[in-house]
Amino acid sequence: AQKVTQAQTEISVVEKEDVTLDCVYETRDTTYYLFWYKQPPSGELVFLIRRNSFDEQNEISGRYSWNFQKSTSSFNFTITASQVVDSAVYFCALSGSGNNRKLIWGLGTSLAVNP
Amino acid sequence: EPEVTQTPSHQVTQMGQEVILRCVPISNHLYFYWYRQILGQKVEFLVSFYNNEISEKSEIFDDQFSVERPDGSNFTLKIRSTKLEDSAMYFCASSESDGAYYEQYFGPGTRLTVT
């Protein structure tokens, strides 16, 4: 069975702090995909990143970076120099390949960045 | 930039009534999905649709639910007899066909309130 665990339900930081959101996944698939989505207070789901199981390179996009480690089944997300606009719920999700494309979601981490 | 649209943004209905939630996926996408998010909870997969048929559905997607692609653009979710517990945000998503890059793009959601 596939499962995504986001152990941190809420995180509160002060602006300009770095913050890491943890994501641990379980799957028996050899090919799978990991995602992060952002849900701001307005409610929409904003795609941030996709990683496939064969690509363990870390990725950096501006203040965002992602650390994928198959050995620990983790796909952590770091925001550097956080800003108030980063306040949102962040979801980690997992999908298989082929016909198994549904997204399995973690419970989300609510991030509050305070001025 | 192409986007997924959903109507209405908010639907209020009485228990037992039928509702139809509408989605217009991105035009060249071939996979379509419905997810729901009960307030404050995680996002849950309902159903995926490809080549004019359901490719996968969750245990939530019982006989009260149905999906349809009545024309070349719309993708609808029908709930035949709504229950109080159907109150949630319903998200439509679409993705391209095969290949490594098939992240799901989400619409803004329809908030369904069953009274």
The whole-number pLDDT of residue B18 equals 98
A56's tokens: 């363990």
The whole-number pLDDT of residue B8 equals 96
Chain B residues with CB inside 8 Å of A92's CB? Answer: none
Percent of chain A having pLDDT more than 90? 75
Scanning every residue of chain B, which has its alpha carbon at the shortest distance from the alpha carbon of A43? B108
A91's tokens: 């979801």
- pLDDT tens figures, A74-103: 999 999 999 999 999 999 999 987 767 889
The whole-number pLDDT of residue B98 equals 57
What values do phi and psi take at B98, rounded to 5?
Answer: -60, 165
Scanning every residue of chain B, which has its alpha carbon at the shortest distance from the alpha carbon of A38? B106
Per-residue pLDDT, averaged over A24-37, amounts to 93
The whole-number pLDDT of residue A20 equals 98
Contact assessment for residue B89 and residue B39, using Cβ atoms and an 8 Å cutoff: yes
- pLDDT tens figures, B30-82: 899 999 999 888 899 999 998 889 989 999 999 999 999 988 789 999 999 99
